[in-house]
A = this chain, B = another copy of it.
Amino acid sequence: MATLDDVARRAGVSTATASRIINGSSKPVSAALRDRVEAAVADLHYVPNAHARQLAGSGRTAVGVVVHDVSDPYFAEITRGLQRVATTDGRLVIICNTYRDPARELDYVELLRAHQVAAMVLAGSGYHDVAFARSLRGKLRAYELSGGRVAVIGRHDRTGDAVVPDNEAGGFMAGEHLYALGHREIGVIAGPRNLTTTTDRLTGIRRAARAHGRPSPKVVYADFDRDSGAAATGDLLSAHPRLTAIAALNDSMAVGALAFLRDVDRRISVIGFDDMPIARDVTPALTTIRLPLADMGAQAMSLALSPASPDPRVERVPASLVERASTFPP
Protein backbone atom coordinates (compact mmCIF):
# COMPACT_ATOMS: atom_id res chain seq x y z
CA MET A 1 0.00 0.00 0.00
CA ALA A 2 1.45 3.35 -1.04
CA THR A 3 2.08 5.79 1.78
CA LEU A 4 2.30 9.51 2.01
CA ASP A 5 6.04 9.10 2.04
CA ASP A 6 5.94 7.43 -1.34
CA VAL A 7 3.84 10.21 -2.73
CA ALA A 8 6.10 12.90 -1.31
CA ARG A 9 9.22 11.25 -2.61
CA ARG A 10 7.79 10.76 -6.05
CA ALA A 11 6.68 14.37 -6.20
CA GLY A 12 9.93 15.58 -4.76
CA VAL A 13 8.39 17.35 -1.81
CA SER A 14 8.18 16.82 1.92
CA THR A 15 5.40 14.81 3.48
CA ALA A 16 4.22 17.98 5.13
CA THR A 17 3.59 19.63 1.82
CA ALA A 18 2.03 16.54 0.34
CA SER A 19 -0.29 16.26 3.30
CA ARG A 20 -1.33 19.88 2.98
CA ILE A 21 -2.12 19.51 -0.67
CA ILE A 22 -4.03 16.31 -0.21
CA ASN A 23 -6.11 17.73 2.58
CA GLY A 24 -6.64 21.07 0.98
CA SER A 25 -5.15 22.80 3.94
CA SER A 26 -5.45 26.54 4.11
CA LYS A 27 -1.73 27.05 3.74
CA PRO A 28 -0.96 28.30 0.25
CA VAL A 29 1.03 26.01 -2.00
CA SER A 30 2.39 26.73 -5.43
CA ALA A 31 0.50 25.35 -8.37
CA ALA A 32 3.49 23.46 -9.68
CA LEU A 33 3.92 21.43 -6.53
CA ARG A 34 0.24 20.87 -6.31
CA ASP A 35 0.20 19.36 -9.76
CA ARG A 36 3.18 17.17 -9.08
CA VAL A 37 1.65 15.85 -5.89
CA GLU A 38 -1.70 15.23 -7.47
CA ALA A 39 -0.06 13.36 -10.27
CA ALA A 40 1.84 11.23 -7.80
CA VAL A 41 -1.36 10.47 -5.91
CA ALA A 42 -3.05 9.37 -9.08
CA ASP A 43 -0.11 7.32 -10.30
CA LEU A 44 0.24 5.46 -7.05
CA HIS A 45 -3.50 5.09 -6.42
CA TYR A 46 -2.73 6.61 -3.10
CA VAL A 47 -5.41 6.72 -0.41
CA PRO A 48 -4.49 8.09 2.99
CA ASN A 49 -4.62 5.56 5.77
CA ALA A 50 -7.70 6.43 7.75
CA HIS A 51 -6.30 5.03 10.97
CA ALA A 52 -3.08 6.96 10.81
CA ARG A 53 -5.04 10.03 9.97
CA GLN A 54 -7.38 9.57 12.86
CA LEU A 55 -4.43 9.04 15.16
CA ALA A 56 -2.56 12.09 14.05
CA GLY A 57 -5.46 14.39 13.41
CA SER A 58 -7.87 15.85 15.82
CA GLY A 59 -11.36 15.34 14.47
CA ARG A 60 -13.29 12.18 15.02
CA THR A 61 -15.16 11.39 11.89
CA ALA A 62 -17.21 8.23 12.17
CA VAL A 63 -20.42 7.72 14.08
CA GLY A 64 -21.85 4.50 15.49
CA VAL A 65 -25.34 3.07 15.60
CA VAL A 66 -26.43 0.23 17.83
CA VAL A 67 -29.71 -1.45 16.95
CA HIS A 68 -31.39 -4.79 17.28
CA ASP A 69 -31.11 -5.71 13.62
CA VAL A 70 -30.99 -3.46 10.58
CA SER A 71 -32.96 -5.94 8.54
CA ASP A 72 -35.91 -5.69 10.89
CA PRO A 73 -38.27 -3.20 9.25
CA TYR A 74 -38.64 -1.17 12.43
CA PHE A 75 -34.93 -0.58 12.74
CA ALA A 76 -34.45 -0.38 9.00
CA GLU A 77 -36.68 2.66 8.92
CA ILE A 78 -34.98 4.25 11.86
CA THR A 79 -31.59 3.57 10.34
CA ARG A 80 -32.66 5.13 7.10
CA GLY A 81 -33.42 8.37 8.85
CA LEU A 82 -30.19 8.20 10.82
CA GLN A 83 -28.06 7.62 7.78
CA ARG A 84 -29.60 10.45 5.88
CA VAL A 85 -28.44 13.02 8.35
CA ALA A 86 -25.12 11.35 9.11
CA THR A 87 -24.23 11.15 5.44
CA THR A 88 -25.27 14.73 4.86
CA ASP A 89 -22.79 15.56 7.56
CA GLY A 90 -20.14 13.61 5.69
CA ARG A 91 -19.75 10.88 8.24
CA LEU A 92 -19.11 7.19 8.04
CA VAL A 93 -21.75 5.18 9.86
CA ILE A 94 -20.83 2.01 11.68
CA ILE A 95 -23.89 -0.12 12.29
CA CYS A 96 -23.92 -2.74 15.04
CA ASN A 97 -26.58 -5.40 15.38
CA THR A 98 -27.16 -6.66 18.87
CA TYR A 99 -29.89 -9.18 18.12
CA ARG A 100 -31.25 -8.14 21.50
CA ASP A 101 -28.35 -9.57 23.40
CA PRO A 102 -27.52 -7.12 26.18
CA ALA A 103 -23.99 -8.45 26.50
CA ARG A 104 -23.37 -7.87 22.84
CA GLU A 105 -24.79 -4.40 23.22
CA LEU A 106 -22.30 -3.59 25.93
CA ASP A 107 -19.49 -4.94 23.81
CA TYR A 108 -20.49 -2.82 20.88
CA VAL A 109 -20.50 0.32 22.95
CA GLU A 110 -16.94 -0.45 23.95
CA LEU A 111 -16.04 -1.22 20.41
CA LEU A 112 -17.42 2.05 19.15
CA ARG A 113 -15.59 3.87 21.87
CA ALA A 114 -12.41 2.10 20.85
CA HIS A 115 -13.03 3.29 17.33
CA GLN A 116 -13.21 6.86 18.55
CA VAL A 117 -16.56 7.54 16.99
CA ALA A 118 -17.72 11.11 17.33
CA ALA A 119 -21.18 10.05 18.39
CA MET A 120 -23.36 7.06 18.91
CA VAL A 121 -27.07 6.42 18.68
CA LEU A 122 -28.64 3.55 20.54
CA ALA A 123 -32.04 2.25 19.56
CA GLY A 124 -33.91 -0.47 21.33
CA SER A 125 -31.77 -0.63 24.45
CA GLY A 126 -34.73 -0.39 26.78
CA TYR A 127 -34.40 -3.63 28.70
CA HIS A 128 -35.87 -4.19 32.11
CA ASP A 129 -32.52 -5.19 33.53
CA VAL A 130 -31.04 -3.09 36.27
CA ALA A 131 -27.56 -4.56 36.06
CA PHE A 132 -27.44 -4.03 32.35
CA ALA A 133 -28.69 -0.49 32.62
CA ARG A 134 -26.12 0.37 35.22
CA SER A 135 -23.33 -1.12 33.21
CA LEU A 136 -24.48 0.66 30.07
CA ARG A 137 -24.73 3.96 31.88
CA GLY A 138 -21.20 3.55 33.15
CA LYS A 139 -19.80 2.88 29.74
CA LEU A 140 -21.69 5.71 28.15
CA ARG A 141 -20.55 8.10 30.83
CA ALA A 142 -16.94 7.12 30.29
CA TYR A 143 -17.45 7.70 26.59
CA GLU A 144 -19.04 11.07 27.08
CA LEU A 145 -16.29 12.09 29.44
CA SER A 146 -13.85 11.66 26.61
CA GLY A 147 -15.90 13.96 24.42
CA GLY A 148 -18.25 11.46 22.78
CA ARG A 149 -21.89 12.27 22.16
CA VAL A 150 -24.76 9.88 22.79
CA ALA A 151 -28.39 9.92 21.77
CA VAL A 152 -30.90 7.25 22.66
CA ILE A 153 -34.10 6.27 20.90
CA GLY A 154 -36.74 4.95 23.22
CA ARG A 155 -37.32 5.16 26.90
CA HIS A 156 -34.21 6.19 28.73
CA ASP A 157 -33.46 5.75 32.36
CA ARG A 158 -30.35 7.79 31.99
CA THR A 159 -30.27 11.51 31.68
CA GLY A 160 -29.07 12.50 28.27
CA ASP A 161 -30.31 13.38 24.83
CA ALA A 162 -33.10 11.15 23.69
CA VAL A 163 -35.92 10.69 21.21
CA VAL A 164 -38.82 9.13 23.03
CA PRO A 165 -41.88 7.84 21.24
CA ASP A 166 -45.01 7.95 23.31
CA ASN A 167 -45.61 4.23 23.42
CA GLU A 168 -47.95 4.41 26.34
CA ALA A 169 -50.23 6.90 24.59
CA GLY A 170 -50.01 4.81 21.44
CA GLY A 171 -51.10 1.74 23.37
CA PHE A 172 -53.97 3.71 24.80
CA MET A 173 -55.06 4.82 21.35
CA ALA A 174 -55.02 1.24 20.11
CA GLY A 175 -57.18 0.08 23.00
CA GLU A 176 -59.42 3.09 22.73
CA HIS A 177 -59.98 2.43 19.05
CA LEU A 178 -60.95 -1.17 19.64
CA TYR A 179 -63.24 -0.48 22.59
CA ALA A 180 -64.89 2.42 20.79
CA LEU A 181 -65.65 0.04 17.96
CA GLY A 182 -67.62 -2.01 20.45
CA HIS A 183 -65.22 -4.79 21.28
CA ARG A 184 -65.54 -5.97 24.83
CA GLU A 185 -62.90 -8.60 25.17
CA ILE A 186 -59.61 -8.13 23.38
CA GLY A 187 -56.35 -9.99 23.22
CA VAL A 188 -52.88 -8.56 23.06
CA ILE A 189 -49.85 -10.02 21.32
CA ALA A 190 -46.97 -8.45 23.14
CA GLY A 191 -43.29 -8.31 22.40
CA PRO A 192 -40.56 -9.69 24.66
CA ARG A 193 -41.50 -8.91 28.22
CA ASN A 194 -38.12 -7.52 29.15
CA LEU A 195 -38.43 -4.60 26.76
CA THR A 196 -39.79 -1.28 27.88
CA THR A 197 -41.38 -0.85 24.48
CA THR A 198 -43.54 -3.86 25.26
CA THR A 199 -44.50 -2.83 28.76
CA ASP A 200 -45.17 0.79 27.85
CA ARG A 201 -47.49 -0.11 25.02
CA LEU A 202 -49.17 -2.69 27.19
CA THR A 203 -49.70 -0.19 29.97
CA GLY A 204 -51.45 2.09 27.51
CA ILE A 205 -53.81 -0.63 26.39
CA ARG A 206 -54.64 -1.59 29.94
CA ARG A 207 -55.38 1.98 30.78
CA ALA A 208 -57.81 2.07 27.86
CA ALA A 209 -59.49 -1.07 29.20
CA ARG A 210 -59.94 0.54 32.59
CA ALA A 211 -61.21 3.74 31.00
CA HIS A 212 -63.91 1.72 29.30
CA GLY A 213 -64.66 -0.40 32.31
CA ARG A 214 -63.53 -3.52 30.54
CA PRO A 215 -61.59 -6.41 32.00
CA SER A 216 -57.88 -6.31 31.44
CA PRO A 217 -57.03 -7.76 28.03
CA LYS A 218 -55.59 -11.23 27.62
CA VAL A 219 -51.91 -11.03 26.93
CA VAL A 220 -49.57 -13.45 25.25
CA TYR A 221 -45.91 -12.72 24.64
CA ALA A 222 -44.06 -13.13 21.38
CA ASP A 223 -40.90 -11.81 19.73
CA PHE A 224 -41.90 -8.85 17.63
CA ASP A 225 -41.53 -10.86 14.46
CA ARG A 226 -44.08 -12.22 12.04
CA ASP A 227 -43.88 -15.92 12.76
CA SER A 228 -43.98 -15.57 16.51
CA GLY A 229 -46.99 -13.31 16.00
CA ALA A 230 -48.76 -15.96 14.00
CA ALA A 231 -48.02 -18.61 16.59
CA ALA A 232 -49.10 -16.36 19.42
CA THR A 233 -52.41 -15.74 17.70
CA GLY A 234 -53.05 -19.45 17.74
CA ASP A 235 -52.29 -19.64 21.43
CA LEU A 236 -54.41 -16.65 22.23
CA LEU A 237 -57.42 -17.88 20.31
CA SER A 238 -57.36 -21.37 21.67
CA ALA A 239 -57.10 -20.06 25.21
CA HIS A 240 -59.75 -17.41 24.69
CA PRO A 241 -61.98 -18.36 21.80
CA ARG A 242 -64.39 -15.51 22.28
CA LEU A 243 -61.99 -12.67 21.62
CA THR A 244 -63.26 -10.32 18.92
CA ALA A 245 -60.16 -8.21 18.46
CA ILE A 246 -56.43 -8.48 18.75
CA ALA A 247 -53.90 -5.74 19.34
CA ALA A 248 -50.41 -6.68 18.25
CA LEU A 249 -47.69 -4.53 19.70
CA ASN A 250 -45.99 -4.16 16.35
CA ASP A 251 -46.91 -4.55 12.71
CA SER A 252 -44.74 -7.57 12.03
CA MET A 253 -46.67 -9.59 14.57
CA ALA A 254 -49.93 -8.12 13.33
CA VAL A 255 -49.08 -9.39 9.87
CA GLY A 256 -48.45 -12.80 11.38
CA ALA A 257 -51.80 -12.63 13.12
CA LEU A 258 -53.55 -11.77 9.88
CA ALA A 259 -51.86 -14.70 8.17
CA PHE A 260 -52.91 -17.06 10.92
CA LEU A 261 -56.49 -15.82 10.87
CA ARG A 262 -56.67 -16.30 7.13
CA ASP A 263 -55.34 -19.82 7.48
CA VAL A 264 -57.99 -20.77 10.01
CA ASP A 265 -60.53 -18.78 8.04
CA ARG A 266 -61.53 -16.50 10.83
CA ARG A 267 -62.12 -12.81 10.54
CA ILE A 268 -61.60 -10.68 13.59
CA SER A 269 -60.17 -7.22 14.09
CA VAL A 270 -56.41 -6.75 14.28
CA ILE A 271 -54.58 -3.56 15.06
CA GLY A 272 -50.84 -3.18 14.75
CA PHE A 273 -48.25 -0.70 15.90
CA ASP A 274 -45.52 1.36 14.14
CA ASP A 275 -47.00 1.69 10.67
CA MET A 276 -44.21 -0.14 8.98
CA PRO A 277 -44.19 -0.03 5.18
CA ILE A 278 -45.83 -3.44 4.94
CA ALA A 279 -48.92 -2.29 6.83
CA ARG A 280 -50.72 -0.88 3.84
CA ASP A 281 -49.97 -3.82 1.60
CA VAL A 282 -51.43 -6.69 3.52
CA THR A 283 -55.04 -7.64 3.19
CA PRO A 284 -56.98 -6.35 4.94
CA ALA A 285 -54.79 -3.27 5.09
CA LEU A 286 -53.60 -2.92 8.63
CA THR A 287 -55.02 -0.40 11.04
CA THR A 288 -52.10 0.63 13.16
CA ILE A 289 -50.55 3.15 15.50
CA ARG A 290 -48.15 5.21 13.53
CA LEU A 291 -44.72 6.28 14.67
CA PRO A 292 -42.59 8.38 12.32
CA LEU A 293 -39.68 5.97 12.48
CA ALA A 294 -37.38 7.52 9.90
CA ASP A 295 -37.89 10.95 11.43
CA MET A 296 -37.09 9.57 14.84
CA GLY A 297 -33.84 8.24 13.51
CA ALA A 298 -33.03 11.54 11.87
CA GLN A 299 -33.81 13.46 15.03
CA ALA A 300 -31.65 11.19 17.13
CA MET A 301 -28.71 11.58 14.78
CA SER A 302 -29.15 15.34 14.77
CA LEU A 303 -29.07 15.37 18.53
CA ALA A 304 -26.00 13.19 18.61
CA LEU A 305 -24.22 15.34 16.09
CA SER A 306 -25.00 18.65 17.71
CA PRO A 307 -22.70 19.97 20.43
CA ALA A 308 -23.43 18.74 23.93
CA SER A 309 -25.81 20.94 25.81
CA PRO A 310 -25.75 21.37 29.57
CA ASP A 311 -29.30 20.12 30.08
CA PRO A 312 -30.32 17.01 28.19
CA ARG A 313 -32.73 17.44 25.32
CA VAL A 314 -35.60 15.01 25.08
CA GLU A 315 -37.71 14.96 21.93
CA ARG A 316 -41.08 13.42 22.60
CA VAL A 317 -42.64 11.80 19.57
CA PRO A 318 -46.41 11.46 19.44
CA ALA A 319 -48.11 8.36 18.11
CA SER A 320 -51.17 8.55 15.88
CA LEU A 321 -53.89 6.21 14.77
CA VAL A 322 -54.01 5.17 11.12
CA GLU A 323 -57.33 3.55 10.33
CA ARG A 324 -57.33 1.05 7.56
CA ALA A 325 -59.38 -2.06 6.96
CA SER A 326 -58.27 -4.57 9.57
CA THR A 327 -60.41 -3.26 12.39
CA PHE A 328 -64.20 -3.16 12.45
CA PRO A 329 -67.08 -3.62 14.88
CA PRO A 330 -67.48 -7.08 16.42
Contacts and interface: CB of A to CB of B under 8 A. Distances in A.
A180 interface: no
14 contacts: A45-B142, A49-B55, A50-B51, A50-B115, A50-B116, A51-B52, A51-B116, A55-B55, A70-B71, A70-B76, A70-B95, A71-B80, A95-B95, A281-B282
Contacts of A80: 69, 71
Interface residues on A, range: 35 or more
Nearest to A76: B71
Copies of this chain, tallied across the complex: 2
Contact of A48 (B51, B97, B114, B277): B114
Nearest to A278: B278
Contacts of A110: 47
Contacts of A83: 97
A52 B49 CA distance: 12
A283 interface: yes
Given A71-B77, A94-B94, A282-B281, A51 B55 contact: yes
A46 to B, nearest CB: 9
A1 interface: yes
Nearest to A83: B97
A221 B54 CA distance: 44
Interface string A277-295: 1101111000000000000
A306 interface: no
A321 interface: no
A162 to B, nearest CB: 22
A329 interface: no
A92 interface: yes
Interface string A106-119: 00001101111000
A93 interface: yes
A146 interface: yes
Nearest to A113: B47
A49 B114 contact: yes
- The 8 A-B pairs with the shortest beta carbon distances in the complex, nearest first, are A283-B283, A45-B142, A1-B146, A71-B76, A51-B51, A50-B114, A51-B54, A71-B80
Nearest to A109: B47
A214 interface: no
A206 interface: no
Contact of A281 (B139, B146, B259): B259
A54 B77 CA distance: 33
Contacts of A53: 114
A225 to B, nearest CB: 10
Q: Which of A51, A53, A93, A94 has the most CB of B within 10 A?
A: A51
A95 to B, nearest CB: 5
A226 interface: yes
Contacts of A142: 45
A79 B93 CA distance: 15
